[in-house]
Amino acid sequence: MTIEDNDSAVRSGQEDPGRRRLLALLGVAAGSLIAILAGLPVIGYIVLPVTRKMHRQWVSVGPVDRFPVGDTVLVSFENPSATPWAGVSGKTGAWVRRGGDSNFIAFVLNCSHLGCPVRWEASPKLFICPCHGSVYYEDGTVAAGPAPFPLQRFQVRVRGGNVELQSRPIPITEGT
């Protein structure tokens, strides 16, 4: 094609087919790159929890004297399985009851129905979920409501005069 032919093609509205193909390929490549970049966070959100191993650690919740025999006490602690940027949401809690000198039991703070935090009512000796009405006996078994499972428990040990709980990934909404 000579310069005169090219000028007449431009004036008549015809484009070079090679240029059109190149622009179409560039458009497809740019669109694909944008789709991949936008999809990476979604893929990471789906795949990361499957591949990430949650480490359980022993967490100190206070000295043995903090827990009077027969009382159920709410404790709060940083959950080691939380992400570094979790902030306040990385904190969790547990209900710890001392049954004897070194006999402790600890319940997960969350209801087994939908994970709402339960509260301890001392006079009827019941755990109550204020959101959906689940009620648990003092041993964590279901007394009433939609809860499908008993309250989960933490493993507890006394070490060096401190009560320690074995942390677990949060939130916890299924039975063991």
% of the chain with per-residue pLDDT over 70: 80
The confidence band for 132, taking pLDDT boundaries of 50, 70 and 90, is confident
- pTM comes to 0.63
Q: For residue 45, what pLDDT is reported?
A: 81
For residue 26, name the pLDDT band (cuts at 50, 70, 90).
Answer: very high
DSSP 118: P
pLDDT tens digits, 50-106 = 776 666 788 888 888 888 888 888 988 877 766 677 777 777 888 899 888 778 999
**Contact yes or no for 92/154 (Cβ under 8 A):** no
Helix (H) or strand (E) holding 63: strand 58-63
- pLDDT of res. 18: 85
Q: Is the pLDDT score of 6 beyond 70?
A: no
What whole-number distance in Å separates Cα of residue 32 and Cα of residue 82?
Answer: 34
Look at residue 108 and tell me whether its pLDDT is greater than 60.
Answer: yes
Q: Which amino acid is at 118?
A: V
Confidence bin at 5 (pLDDT 50/70/90)? low
